[in-house]
């Protein structure tokens, strides 16, 4: 069930869920604001909460609207693509056979069947990115589980429009954004540690911040680095 809180020119979507606490989100690309609220919490209480967070909301919106965005991808020769933060120039090879992607020096060689359209090229590249993350994650989990004293259940890698990752503490399941394979490898490690910390502290409270500082003292620098990098050009939906 959705409702709305209006604060001047700002419209805040309110979604009621079977939860105990309020959860505030500022969503890309333009900074749409959403609050998840307990089922029976009245709108006046939610409005007071939103007003108390107004400066933070405006700050997040400014950052999102200023963030650099890539040009639309056309999957043509010499188009730039990124793998683990490094720039590669696309070489498109059309031939019959299973699609494949290989890195050769400074080139990303994409083999596709003749006539493959942009949507299929995008799906092929995203599937390849997904496999890069799946290959990198087990070693990182093995590194951090004994340090943090937690045990990860399952890890899912998928295209995510509003988050770099998420964690379900009850099932110990972690979800990671496919686009992390385009960013520097240390950004993947930061997001994974962030989500694993939620196995110890589900919310972003002072304890969570203290745990992140203990496990990964440079986490704020890594977060800033990740959020300053160009993001994919896309029409985001909600």
Confirm whether 56 is domain-assigned. yes
Same domain, 224 and 121: yes
Give tens-digit pLDDT for 18-67. 888 898 888 766 788 989 999 889 999 999 999 999 998 988 888 766 65
pTM for the model stands at 0.70
pLDDT score recorded for residue 229: 57
Domain ranges, residue 16: 2-62
Distance CA 128, CA 181 (A): 9
CATH number of 160's domain: 3.30.2010.10
Number of domains forming the structure of the chain:
2
Position 238 scores a pLDDT of 27
Burial class (CB in 10 A: 0-12, 13-18, 19+), 205: exposed
Cβ atoms of 175 and 160 within 8 Å: the answer is yes
- Considering the domain architecture, whether residues 130 and 215 belong to the same structural domain is answered as yes
- At residue 17 the predicted structure's pLDDT band, cuts being 50, 70 and 90, is confident
| Residue 204, domain member (yes or no) | yes
Q: For residue 235, tell me if it sits in a domain.
A: no
């Amino acid at each position: 069930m959705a409702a709305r809180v209006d604060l001047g020119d700002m419209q805040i979507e309110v979604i009621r869920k079977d939860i105990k606490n309020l959860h505030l989100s500022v969503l890309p690309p333009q900074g749409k604001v959403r609050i998840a609220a307990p089922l029976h919490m009245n709108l006046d209480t939610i409005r007071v909460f939103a007003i108390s967070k107004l400066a933070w909301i405006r700050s997040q919106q400014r950052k999102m609207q200023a963030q650099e965005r890539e040009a639309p991808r056309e999957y043509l020769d010499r188009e730039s693509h990124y793998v683990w933060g490094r720039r590669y120039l696309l070489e498109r090879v059309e031939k019959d056979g299973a699609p494949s992607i290989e890195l050769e020096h400074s080139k990303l060689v994409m083999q596709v069947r003749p006539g493959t359209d942009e949507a299929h090229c995008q799906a092929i590249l995203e599937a390849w990115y997904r496999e890069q993350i799946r290959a990198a994650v087990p070693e990182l989990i093995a590194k951090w589980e004994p340090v943090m004293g937690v045990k990860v259940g399952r890890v899912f890698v998928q295209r995510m429009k509003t988050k770099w990752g998420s964690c379900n503490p009850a099932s110990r399941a972690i979800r990671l954004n496919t686009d992390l394979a385009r960013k520097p490898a240390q950004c993947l490690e930061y997001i994974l540690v962030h989500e694993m910390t939620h196995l110890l502290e589900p919310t972003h409270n002072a304890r969570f911040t203290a745990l992140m500082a203990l496990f990964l003292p440079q986490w704020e620098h890594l977060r800033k680095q990740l959020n300053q990098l160009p993001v994919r050009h896309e029409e985001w939906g909600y």
